[in-house]
């Protein structure tokens, strides 16, 4: 009877939770509070922390929200209707919850609000099985949905302001999720009771450690070491300059394609995303297919390289690499892959070479998740306006570069639930150590950006979108015109890319003047690219017609099973021919090895 009464009043225990002795538990919590105060005091003493400027608005958000508020107030009827809709949803939720608490079960209409597919914040069974936590969950989802939709429906805002409001409203609603707080997360409450609060003490120590490092720990960094269990494909550094080391990899086949392959990764991150482990290394796989593979490993720039420009990255990157490859192999031509920003640089380089009468130095070009048209730059657009760029430039003046952690934070915000709040719960509330994960180790191995290059890139590409305009960007006195590119191009975009939206990548089908093969892969900016055939994961889409509208292309595209790597291999063989030569050893040509791969540049840490 007592058990039934507990159910009827909603006073359920969280499943599998043992209720502790209240006196003993209060003593434990008091002890934790005392230890917590000491930990915080020690941290504050070490840091000599100062209060931030209350008027500091680094993302220029306040003006956007003030404009939104004024427009909302101009249409009170619409605002009132939105509030009425929210109230009606709450009434349905209260009725459903009350019915369930009285033992009548669901009213037959199902939950009022449900998490989106793939939302792991509410994976614990108590979020559904326990009436109280089910109510908390649905109440939050209703409110978050209401806030986001209300902001999105404000009329009269320019597109950039609307995108900024939408982004930061979602940042706020994500931060306010009940899963992020001790008293409203059943998993955390259960762990607190079972460990007598030890999880919270451990979590506080983790928090203070991370505050000292200036970033959230996403993985167990001690489990990985570049050159030991990451980036271990055998090879040699055969050339280097101020900005990059050129790695040539050891062949694994007796014969190799005559035309060597150069890979230009982005310098926003480190190159070994393409050489994480043997099982998912694109570098290793390409070597095994019979390619002589070279990779540019970019330096982690410091104050001395502050004035290195985008032009310098072209000269000391792909142009220098092509010269070095000619010395190493004797070949006049190479096939070149550019990934993300490396692909943007490749497009500039191809146009430059064409106008210098040297187009034949590159036989075929491949672009991974590359933007050349920044008119649809996705959610990164919210960080690009005059106020924010000026503030960033001012910040870079003191050191001559953008700190690696600043760039990392920006990208983490694009997937805040996965890359921020999940670790807040795991590390700080549950008091657990992060799980060893190679991809997240790479993600946290941040790199700096030279001030001159980064300012040029943000202004000319993102803010002004000059690259897509013929002559809009000039490098080494040459006006860059993508229409001058005539090499065959393989263009890969990924359907769920938050960094380089696939429609922006599709612009390459019309920007160049050579034959193009466009492939759309499933998943996102990283997982969609690093998708080895042995994993048998995801799929991709093909369509040989390229209408102006990318949505029309997708409507008529045919899904293909498995990895796009095999599609690329077939394409590159068709474009470059099957001519083979004896396998080339690093150091076998005119360039002698400097050091073993992965080299020293990639091991430089951004200790900001």
For residues 171-179, give the mean pLDDT: 91
Residue-level pLDDT at 68: 66
* pLDDT category of residue 3 using cuts at 50, 70 and 90: very low
Let me know: does 291 contact 259? Beta carbons within 8 Å.
Answer: no
Position 456 scores a pLDDT of 96
Share of the chain above pLDDT 70, in %: 86
The predicted pLDDT at position 2 comes to: 39
What integer pLDDT is reported at residue 51 of this predicted model?
Answer: 42
Distance CA 330, CA 337 (A): 20
- The predicted model scores a pTM of 0.86
User: Is the pLDDT score of 271 beyond 50?
Assistant: yes
Lowest mean pLDDT, pick from 32-36, 42-46, 102-106, 415-419: 42-46
In 500-530, which positions are buried (b, 16+ CB within 10 angstroms) versus exposed (e)? bbbbbbbbbbebbeeebbbbbbbbbbbbbbb
Q: How far is residue 493's CA from residue 501's CA, in Å, rounded to a whole number?
A: 8
Query: pLDDT band for position 608 (50/70/90)?
Result: very low
- The 3-state DSSP class for residue 563 equals coil
Confidence of residue 8 (pLDDT cuts 50, 70, 90): very low
Residues 6+ apart with CB under 8 A from 28: 196, 197
Domain 235-378+450-603 in this protein, CATH class:
alpha beta
Q: In the prediction, which pLDDT does 42 show?
A: 63
pLDDT confidence band for 74 (50 / 70 / 90)? low
* Phi then psi dihedrals of residue 93, to 5 deg: -65, -45
Distances (CA, A) of 403 to 58, 303, 306, 451, 499: 15, 11, 12, 10, 19
For the chain, the residue count is: 608
| DSSP at 179 | G
Average pLDDT over residues 19-23: 57
The per-residue DSSP string of 205-254 comes to HHHHHHHHHTS---S-GGG--BTTTBS-S-EEEEEE-SSEEEEEEPP-SS
**What whole-number distance in Å separates Cα of residue 167 and Cα of residue 151?**
10
DSSP H or E segment with residue 449: strand 449-450
**Comparison of pLDDT for 91 and 476, the residue scoring more:** 476
Q: How confident is the model at residue 211 (pLDDT cuts 50, 70, 90)?
A: confident
Contact criterion met (CB below 8 Å) for 298 and 241: no
Q: Are strands 261-264 and 244-249 parallel, antiparallel or unpaired?
A: unpaired
Query: Which of 64-73, 262-271, 515-524 is predicted with the least confidence, judged by mean pLDDT?
Result: 64-73
Does residue 104 have a pLDDT over 70? Answer: no
**Confidence grade of residue 31 (pLDDT, cut at 50, 70, 90):** low
| CATH 3.40.50.1820 domain extents, the chain | 235-378+450-603
Which residues make beta-bridge pairs with 256?
A: 581
Chain-centre distance for alpha carbon 414: 7
Say whether pLDDT at 407 is over 90.
no
Average pLDDT over residues 484-503: 96
Mean pLDDT of 394-403: 89
Model confidence at 314, pLDDT cuts 50, 70, 90, reads very high
Higher pLDDT, 468 or 75: 468
pLDDT at position 334 over 90:
yes
118: left (phi over 0), alpha (psi -120 to 50) or beta: left
Look up tokens 């009170």; give the residue: 76
Report DSSP state, residue 171: H
> What is the band of 109 on the pLDDT scale with cuts at 50, 70, 90?
low
What gap in Å lies between CA 352 and CA 171, rounded to an integer? Answer: 41
Q: Is 21 helix (H, G, I), strand (E, B) or coil?
A: coil
Taking alpha carbons only, the member of 256, 261, 236 closest to residue 247 is 236
- For 418-436, the pLDDT digits (tens) are 888 999 999 999 999 999 9
SS (H, E, C) 284-340: HHHHHCCCCEEEEEECCCCHHHCCCCHHHHHHHHHHHHHHHHHHHHCCCCEEEEEEC
Least confident of 145-154, 183-192, 290-299: 145-154
Question: What pLDDT score was predicted for residue 50?
Answer: 42
- pLDDT at position 410 is 82
Q: Would you say residue 303 has pLDDT above 80? A: yes
Long-range contacts of 147-156, Cβ-Cβ distance < 8 Å, separation of 24 or more? 147/172, 147/173, 148/173, 149/82, 150/72, 150/79, 150/82, 151/68, 153/78, 153/82, 154/68, 154/71, 154/72, 155/71, 155/75, 156/71
- Of 299, 314, 340, 499, which one is the catalytic site residue? 340
What is the rounded average pLDDT of the residues 516-524? 96
In this structure, of 11-20, 121-130, 333-342, 373-382, the range with the lowest mean pLDDT score is 11-20
pLDDT higher at 309 or 535: 309
pLDDT reported for residue 14: 54
Share of the chain above pLDDT 90, in %: 61
Q: At what angle do helices 22-47 and 198-213 cross, to 10 degrees?
A: 10
Least confident of 128-137, 160-169, 173-182: 160-169
Over the chain, what is the mean pLDDT? 87
Q: Which residues contact 56 (CB under 8 A, 6 or more apart)?
A: none
> Does residue 442 or residue 378 have the better pLDDT?
442
On the question of pLDDT at 492 being above 70, the answer is yes
d(CA 26, CA 54): 37
Q: How many CA atoms lie within 13 A of 596 on its CB side?
A: 7
Would you call 340 a catalytic residue per the annotation? Answer: yes
Residue 180 CB partners (closer than 8 Å, separation 6+) = 421, 424, 425, 429
């Amino acid at each position: 009877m007592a058990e039934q009464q507990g159910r009827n009043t909603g006073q359920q225990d969280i499943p599998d939770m043992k209720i502790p002795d209240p006196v003993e538990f209060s003593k434990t919590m008091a002890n934790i509070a005392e230890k917590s105060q000491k930990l915080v005091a020690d941290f504050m003493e070490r840091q000599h922390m100062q209060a931030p400027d209350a008027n500091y608005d680094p993302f220029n958000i306040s003006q956007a929200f003030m404009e939104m508020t004024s427009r909302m107030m101009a249409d009170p009827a619409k605002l009132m209707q939105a509030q009425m809709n929210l109230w009606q949803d709450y009434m349905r939720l209260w009725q459903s919850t009350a019915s369930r608490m009285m033992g009548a079960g669901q009213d037959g209409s199902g939950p009022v609000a449900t998490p989106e597919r793939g939302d792991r914040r509410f994976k614990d069974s108590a979020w559904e099985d326990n009436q109280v936590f089910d109510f908390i969950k649905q109440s939050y989802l209703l409110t978050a949905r209401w806030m986001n939709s209300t902001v999105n429906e404000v009329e009269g805002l320019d597109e950039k302001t609307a995108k900024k409001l939408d982004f930061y409203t979602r940042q706020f609603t994500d931060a306010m999720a009940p899963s992020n707080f001790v008293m409203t997360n059943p998993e955390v409450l259960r762990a607190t009771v079972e460990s007598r609060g030890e999880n919270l003490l451990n979590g506080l120590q983790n928090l203070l450690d991370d505050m000292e490092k200036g970033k959230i720990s996403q993985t167990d960094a001690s489990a990985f070491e570049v050159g030991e269990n990451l980036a271990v494909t055998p090879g040699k550094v055969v050339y280097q300059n101020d900005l990059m080391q050129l790695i040539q990899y050891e062949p694994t086949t007796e014969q190799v394609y005559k035309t060597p392959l150069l890979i230009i990764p982005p310098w926003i991150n480190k190159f070994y995303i393409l050489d994480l482990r043997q099982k998912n290394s694109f570098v290793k796989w390409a070597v095994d297919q019979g390619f002589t593979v070279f990779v540019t490993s970019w330096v982690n720039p410091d104050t001395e390289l502050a004035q290195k420009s985008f032009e310098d990255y072209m000269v000391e990157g792909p142009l220098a690499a092509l010269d070095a490859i000619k010395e190493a192999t004797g070949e006049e031509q190479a096939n070149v892959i550019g990934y993300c920003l490396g692909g943007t640089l490749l497009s500039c380089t191809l146009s430059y070479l064409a106008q210098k009468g040297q187009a034949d130095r590159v036989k075929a070009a491949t672009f991974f998740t590359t933007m050349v048209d920044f008119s649809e730059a996705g959610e990164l657009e919210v960080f690009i306006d005059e106020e924010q760029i000026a503030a960033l430039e001012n910040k870079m003046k003191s050191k001559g570069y953008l700190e690696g952690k600043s760039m990392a934070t920006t990208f983490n915000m694009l997937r805040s639930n996965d890359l921020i709040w999940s670790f807040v719960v795991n590390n700080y509330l549950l008091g657990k150590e992060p799980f060893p994960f190679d991809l997240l180790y790479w993600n946290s191995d941040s790199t700096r950006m030279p001030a001159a290059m980064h300012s040029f890139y943000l202004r000319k590409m993102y803010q002004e979108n000059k690259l897509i305009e013929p002559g809009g960007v000039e490098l080494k006195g040459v006006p860059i015109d993508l229409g001058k590119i005539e090499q065959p191009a393989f263009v890969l975009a990924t359907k769920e890319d938050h960094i380089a939206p696939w429609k922006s990548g599709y612009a390459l089908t019309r920007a160049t003047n050579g034959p193009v093969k466009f492939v759309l892969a499933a998943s996102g900016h990283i997982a969609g690219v690093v998708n080895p055939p042995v994993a048998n994961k995801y799929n991709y889409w093909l369509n040989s017609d390229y209408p102006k509208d990318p949505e029309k292309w997708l409507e008529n595209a045919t899904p293909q099973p498995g990895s796009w790597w095999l599609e690329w291999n077939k394409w590159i063989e068709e474009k470059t021919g099957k001519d083979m030569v004896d396998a080339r050893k690093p150091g076998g040509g005119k360039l002698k090895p400097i050091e073993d791969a992965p080299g020293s540049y990639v091991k430089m840490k951004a200790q900001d």
